[in-house]
Amino acid sequence: MKFQHYLLGSVMSMFSVSGFATEMINPISVHVLNLQTGVPTAGIKVELDRKKGNEWLKLAEGTTNAQGRISALYPTGQATQMGIYRVIFKTGDYYKKSGEPTFFPEIPVIFTLDKADQHYHIPLLLSQFGYSTYRGN
C-alpha cells in the first residue's frame, strides 16, 4: 500500500499544473494592432532572431493570425536561452498587398531575454507612417 501511495504521488507530481504549465508555455509572443482601424492586423510576417557575437541567427518565423497574434514564436522543443533577441515585423509586404504606402518596410524590435522562466510579449501598434511597441504580458 505504501508503494502504491508513493507511486501515485510521484506520477501526480510529474503532471502538476504548475510544472506542466511552465514547460508548455512558449516564451515569446507578438501581437499587431492597426492604429488606423483599431483592429488586429492579420497576415504580417514576423521573424525571430538571436544575437550571437556580432551576428544575428534566424530562429523562427511566423505570420500573424486573424487576431493579429503569433502566440508561440520561439522554436518548439528548444530550451529558452537568455540573450539579446529581435523580432522583425515585415510590414512592407503587408502594406504592399493592401495597396497602401508605408514608411517602414520592416520594424525590428530588439530586446533582452534575461529570465528564462518569464514570458516576453511584444505588441506592435502600427500605422502606415508610425509605430509603437512595449513589453506586454
Residue 52 sits in a domain whose CATH number is 2.60.40.180
Strand order through the sheet with 55-63: 55-63, 45-52, 83-90, 107-113
**Total domain count, the chain:** 1
| Structural domain span for residue 71 | 27-133
Domain assignment present for 11: no
Helix-then-strand count for the chain, H and E: 3, 8
131 is in an annotated binding site: no
The 10s digit of each residue's pLDDT in 3-50 is 444 443 443 344 333 433 444 589 999 999 999 889 999 999 999 999
Determine contact, residues 118/26, Cβ cutoff 8 Å. no
134 is in an annotated binding site: yes
Domain assignment present for 81: yes
The 10s digit of each residue's pLDDT in 17-29 is 343 344 458 999 9
Q: Hey, what's the cell of 127?
A: 500605422
31 is in an annotated binding site: yes
- Name every residue whose Cβ is closer than 8 Å to that of residue 3 and which is 6 or more positions away in sequence: none
Domain assignment present for 69: yes
